Structure 1
């Protein structure tokens, strides 16, 4: 089985983090979508989601 990989464009590193988010214009408040991140992209992906007020939580994968 292949490991889960980072969601950052062009990255194929193994995911070590789950970024849990939702778009309040599209999703109910309890709904969580997931982006996966490696250590190198955790911050940039989190900042992207936070800038839009989408990021709800970051947990280990």
Structure 2
């Protein structure tokens, strides 16, 4: 037998370390127990000036 009362909302994903996929995107696996979800997103390109040069990078190293 089982009993359920006052069900709670499902928790959101809790991602581990993001890694480059080598195609302009990066992915991370959800760290929650028994969750097999893998998040994937476009790289966030950042441009900044340093020593009279403009640097372009993705913080996740894409």
Q: TM-score by structure 2 length?
A: 0.25
Of Structure 1 and Structure 2, the greater helix share is in: 1
Structure possessing the higher relative contact order (Cα contacts under 8 Å, 6 or more residues apart): 1
**Which of structures 1 and 2 has the bigger CA Rg?**
2
Please state which structure has a larger fraction of its residues in strand.
Answer: 2
TM-score normalized by the length of structure 1? 0.25
